[in-house]
Amino acid sequence: MKKLYNKALLYQYYHSGKWALILGSIIFAVANYFGSIDSINYLKFRISSLEGDRISRGSAFYIFVELFVLFMIYVLITGINKRNNLTFLTSGPYSKEEIKKNQIIFLLISLTILTLIYIYIYLCIYYREREVLMISVGWLPTLIKDIIRLIVCGLAFVSYLVLMDTLFSNSGITIFLIIFTPIVFIVDLSMCFYLSDVFKGYSLFPGEVGVFISKMLHIVSDYVLNYKNVVMIGHVEEILAIILIIFATGIFFLLTWLINKKLIINNINKFFNFKIVEKIFYWTFSFSIMLLITVIIASMYAVVYLQDIYFGQVRTINGTIIALSLIVGIGVIAAIFQRLIRKLMKKFI
């Protein structure tokens, strides 16, 4: 009987997200087709001009189309009123674990369909352009690498979606934070590095780490970011990056499962599933605002007193200590302010 209930829930997810899956699959197929045609045309040009006979990897555009399709499917199967839907389903024959499991299964099925579409389009183009591809080098390894990139990026994004979904009870807040959490993290990190430059401290971001992250982005993008003159990535580094992404994906799925088991429906408020998540959200908001104000003041200080907007000619340990002290101080003050913000929000919401 439980299997029938799970099938019914999975069908409900399909009914909710089928149009996003169908339209997204069409868009993905069209983007993949034209991207592959461009690669073939570029290969023909290189062969005709005697520049080489190696086919280039697929464009990163189809990766972003894949992630967008998965995101739209998630939005539709989750619904506008996520909290009421969860309460309704758990009041019936479904447990929290079964609901989350079926959500993940449907997203993985969607990822599988997109992957099969990619393989089908590639094989159709190979059959049509087989005379050219037979004299080219590396078309099969390129296909395998692109499929691995498609699957790895899709799995990582699905794990991120379901983890964020587990933390928040409001659909609007969840969608907003899924988009802006990585952006806020990168901006805050950049402002912390900037403070160290303002006070002529040592870099808080070692060059080797930047080089490695730049090479990891090669899994998603068509090229390695030109960080510290990085222009090449080896096969070992590419494999290591894939392994790390898969490991992080596994951690995200594990956290989702553990957090979901701790979820208590009666403790859910209008926006957050856990009080600790609410505290972290308001602390991050306070920290980001105060860090931005500090960076603006530090920039004014650098222009007025240092008379130099290009910082960091002479690095000192004192500058690093000042920057770290400011960051820690902002974090402590933000912890105090988040309590005040939470109290104000409870009065108005």
pLDDT tens for the chain, residues 1 to 349? 566 656 676 777 777 778 888 999 999 998 888 887 877 777 777 777 766 666 666 567 788 888 999 999 998 888 777 766 666 666 667 677 787 888 888 899 999 999 999 989 888 887 787 777 777 776 777 788 888 888 998 999 999 999 998 888 878 888 888 998 888 888 888 888 777 777 776 665 555 555 666 666 665 655 444 444 444 556 676 777 788 888 989 999 999 888 888 877 666 767 787 888 888 888 888 888 888 888 888 777 766 555 554 444 566 677 777 778 888 888 888 888 888 877 777 665 5
CA–CA gap between residue 218 and residue 208 (Å, rounded): 16
Would you state the pLDDT for residue 267?
Answer: 66
Secondary structure (3-state) at 201: strand
Q: Which two tokens stand for residue 256?
A: 């989702």
Integer CA distances (angstroms), 223 to 9, 115, 151, in order: 41, 22, 19
pTM summary value:
0.82
* Sign of the CA dihedral with 275 first, then 277, 282, and 283 last: positive
CA–CA gap between residue 323 and residue 215 (Å, rounded): 28
Q: What are phi and psi of 316, to 5 degrees?
A: -135, 155
CA–CA gap between residue 113 and residue 35 (Å, rounded): 19
CA–CA gap between residue 310 and residue 197 (Å, rounded): 9
Would you state the pLDDT for residue 291?
Answer: 86
Strand partners, 137: 54
Name residues whose C-beta falls within 8 Å of residue 65's C-beta, 6 or more positions apart in sequence. Answer: 24, 27, 28, 31, 32
Would you state the pLDDT for residue 225?
Answer: 44
CA–CA gap between residue 282 and residue 90 (Å, rounded): 29
Would you state the pLDDT for residue 252?
Answer: 92
For residue 343, which amino acid is it?
A: K
- DSSP annotation of 230 reads -
CA–CA gap between residue 29 and residue 212 (Å, rounded): 32
